[in-house]
Chain A
């Protein structure tokens, strides 16, 4: 550090003020985005069907706004204050500063928001701004390096204070990592793309946010307390430890995936080691805070002190959740959202606020309102504390429910109270941020009027406690060591790319070469367009596309995702969050009608769904999908299709893979490719439910799961009924055997929108069967004219038996040619009115045609009466005895 005086004029107050105000403005906008995103969990139609204000796009804008808008500007404001003090020299150029300010805010952040909300983005976490904005950010980072770093190199490296090192490291490593995280995943595909994406998810926090936040902590603590930090040695040990281990953490975002297990294990080990390094850093910082009191009086120091505590908690949390035992439970859940908020809104934001207040208080002529800052601290602490605890608890509940065999929607319903509390936590957080702004710009007291003691500063220069000056040899060796360590740090970053990016990519390519089916088709044009819509709307932020190599995942979704399945996925859409279920096995799971109805009005077919409506993709009705909706559906239907075509013969190829014994075992022994509980099967098989007592909540289950299509009273008139072809059955005008109802509940009705409900247990299915049976108002016919019945039988044999079978069991020789199986009249009996209506009009969407052109009204009556006599209900004596 230079001994030359650093005059106050060397700090460019205008740039501190400009970036500070920009930080506050972008913070409030980003928080607004976050609040709307949060409320959409409770009110999914809040955006009124607008795609621009839809959940996915706002989520993109929220995270990028927090990282680049709020934290980026706050860090820059602090750098304009700190770098002249640390280096003893002005920053490179005031003009350059204003160019950087304009570039950062008016070429990167604001246009980035506009583009993302307009649907131009990339589906990569913490990299959602499109590539053109990425180019601007990289240019801005280069300018920032040019602006702030030259001063540090004018003195020997051995003289640099730890904050200077963190500023150096943060800017240099972000320049290395940003292109890697934003560009490389676009150039590679599938698992390799995910591997690089995972690196950036961690590098964004570990190489950009954390170093600059720690630079603030190490600056503000001694500056505000008037005492040096506890140990510069420990601080440097922590500095190099963080830069060595942070880049090696990335793959822990994809534990249990097809990314080579060695890379996963390396990342898990690095995560644990990083936890050890953080203990060193935090211990040093807490010891540096000794004497400042539990709740420091200085507003900046107060925020910074709590940032240290948040840093410790979030780091221990991160090291723990990377471990497999915890990861298998909490990954994809709200636990991770709580973790990321603790990192960005807790640790990083509190550090940034501390740095901002510290710099702001020292601007000439600036008024600060200390009382407002105090209130801001307590409101933010309360709000963030509530949010993080709430989301952590929600994650544990979700993880537990996912490990059980409960229906997916149970986890959504169980999460609702937590989501309500999360939204409520936005009140103190927003109030805290508003008061922070007021505290900085709306104060009545000029901070410059405060005594230096009140600002925690000395006005007399402390003497150096050095008994003797360091030898030149030591300075040289220390400088040399720092250079070597710096090169090693960059080496570790390169190592992370090699070990966790390129090497896994090579292994994955080998796996694909060994196991991919020959002639695997890429996406069609429509599917590729649909994929772009899926990416644009942020679908991957709620739905993963990776069935992990975990028994729980396999039981719920099906066979684990192999590397070749996503080989054309560039950039990857694996996702790291499951608000809705995994979509890797969507192919042939639902009917097109159901999918359109679900996209148009999700709650019309899933009563408690929180998915946003994508009605904007339709011309006013699910029956009129626009090209975009058709493309999106084409893409959804392609998910898992290649594997389905290869199954089961293609699975033999996986026996040559060497993913690790346990992974190989799981890959080869999955009995079902698509275990989605709603996937229909053309089968009469169902589990034996003898001895099982029906649950008592049949009506509740009906209202929750069935009424949206079949209507509240089972008359086939639910909100979605008009959009489904064939229409949902009117249960009132049919009689069913209990066995038939259970078969349908277990297998669904293939060829229709009636899904299976295999995620419900036997007691629930029995309760639902009782409810379904209770809707019927059909009764057996009084004794009919035997001649009429004979005539009806003859007509049936001549005209109906080809499909419905001689005995009316739906097993005619043509039956297997139809997507929807012909009705089995032995197990279900339509009312006479229904039977006549069907013969009059046919059943749209099925092979059942009208018979008015071939049968007269008497003949239609005769065959209707006859087919009703075929019904045999063992649960009713009069039916079991026959007519």
Chain B
């Protein structure tokens, strides 16, 4: 029971800390940035691949 309470309390505090942290718009924007960068990188990679395919085809 004691361990349950400790783990639950630690989890709750950790969650509250992260939520408070997330409330900063600039920081939130920074945290979310990799998901957009990933898509950008994918698109560039795909475009480069397509170009290479076309070069090989011609």
A-to-B contact residues, CB < 8 Å: 1-2, 5-9, 85-86, 88, 158-163, 222-223, 226-229, 231-233, 235-237, 262, 265-266, 269-270, 273, 276, 362, 364, 448, 452, 457-462, 464-468, 470-471, 474-475, 477-478, 481
A88 to B40, CA, bound (A): 11
With the chains together, A475 CA to B26 CA distance in Å? 10
Known: A273-B11, A462-B36. A222 touches B29 (CB 8 A): no
0/1 per residue, B1-28, Cβ < 8 Å to A? 1011001100100000010011000111
- Residue from A265, A276, A474, A481 having most chain B Cβ neighbours under 10 A: A474
Beyond A269-B8, A470-B26, A471-B26, whether A159 also contacts B33 by CB under 8 A is yes
Nearest CB on B from A453, distance (A):
11
CB distance from A849 to the nearest CB of B (A): 66
Q: Which residues of B contact A227 (CB under 8 A)?
A: 39
B residues sitting closer than 8 Å to A (CB atoms) are 1, 3-4, 7-8, 11, 18, 21-22, 26-50, 52-53
Find the B residue at minimum CB distance from A266: B3
A698 vs chain B, min Cβ distance (A): 52
- Interfacial chain B residues near A162, Cβ < 8 Å: 34-35
Q: Chain B residue with minimal CB distance to A459?
A: B47
Instruction: Name 21 A/B residue pairs within 8 A (Cβ), A-sorted.
Output: A1-B37, A1-B41, A6-B41, A8-B48, A86-B38, A86-B41, A88-B41, A159-B37, A222-B35, A236-B31, A237-B18, A273-B11, A364-B53, A452-B46, A458-B43, A461-B47, A464-B36, A467-B29, A470-B30, A474-B27, A478-B30
Task: Judge whether B42 and A222 touch: CB under 8 Å.
Answer: yes
Contacts of A465 in B (CB 8 A): 36
A448 to B50, CA, bound (A): 8
The CA-CA distance from A617 to B51 in the complex, in Å, is 66
Task: Decide if A7 touches B48 in the complex (CB within 8 Å).
Answer: yes
Q: Which residues of A contact B31 (CB under 8 A)?
A: 232-233, 236, 478
CB atoms of B38 and A466 under 8 A apart: no
| B44 partner, pick from A6, A163, A231, beta carbons under 8 A | A6
- When the two chains form their complex, are residues A457 and B38 in contact, meaning their CB atoms are under 8 A apart? no
Say which residue of B21, B34, B46 sits within 8 Å of A232 (CB atoms).
B34
Contact, CB under 8 Å: A459 / B46: yes
Contact indicator A474/B30 (Cβ below 8 Å): yes
Contacts of B21 in A (CB 8 A): 481
How far apart are B50's CB and chain A's nearest CB, in angstroms? 6
- A232-B31, A266-B7, A269-B7 known; A457 and B39 CB under 8 Å? no
Give B38's nearest chain A residue, CB to CB. Answer: A161
CB-based contact A466/B44 at 8 Å? no
Task: Select from chain B the residue with minimum beta-carbon distance to A273.
Answer: B11
Shortest Cβ distance from residue B5 to the other chain A in the assembled complex, whole angstroms: 9
Closest CB pairs A-B (n = 3) = A470-B30, A228-B35, A161-B34
Cα A233 to Cα B8 in complex, Å, equals: 21
| A residues near B11, Cβ cutoff 8 Å | 273, 276
A228-B35, A466-B29 known; A457 and B43 CB under 8 Å?
yes
Alpha-carbon separation in the docked complex, A224 to B38 (Å): 13
- Tell me the nearest residue of chain A to B46, going by C-beta: A457
B36 touches A5 (CB 8 A): no
CA A231 to CA B31, docked complex, whole Å: 9
- Contact present for B35 and A229 (CB under 8 Å): yes
Tell me the complex Cα distance, A2–B38, Å: 10
Cβ contact of B33, chosen from A88, A231, A470, cutoff 8 A? A470
A779 to B49, CA, bound (A): 96
- With both chains docked as a complex, state the minimum distance between the C-beta of B9 and any C-beta of chain A, in angstroms: 11
Task: Determine how close the nearest CB of chain A comes to the CB of B41; give it in whole angstroms.
Answer: 6
Contact of B4 among A231, A269, A452 (CB under 8 A): A269
A160 to B, closest residue via Cβ: B34
| Residue numbers in A under 8 Å from B35 (CB-CB) | 161-162, 222, 228-229, 231-232, 235
A260 CB to closest chain B CB (Å) equals 11
Contact A464 B33 (CB under 8 A): yes
Contacts of A269 in B (CB 8 A): 3-4, 7-8
Residues of chain B within 8 A (CB-CB) of A236 are 31
How far apart are the CA atoms of A233 and B21 in the complex, in Å? 11
**CB pair A464 B42 closer than 8 Å:** no
Q: CB within 8 A of A461: which of B43, B49, B52?
A: B43
Instruction: Give B15's nearest chain A residue, CB to CB.
Output: A237
Known A85-B45, A231-B32; further 14 A-B contacts with Cβ < 8 A: A7-B52, A8-B52, A159-B33, A159-B34, A160-B34, A161-B34, A237-B18, A269-B3, A458-B43, A461-B43, A464-B37, A466-B36, A478-B30, A481-B21
Nearest residue in B to A474 (C-beta to C-beta)? B30
Chain B residues, Cβ within 8 Å of A9: 52
The docked-state distance in angstroms from the alpha carbon of A265 to that of B1 is 8
Known A232-B35, A464-B36; contact A223-B42, beta-carbon cutoff 8 A: yes
- CA A163 to CA B47, docked complex, whole Å: 21
B14 nearest CB across to chain A (Å)? 8
Q: When chains A and B are docked, how far (Å) is the Cα of A162 from the Cα of B32? A: 10
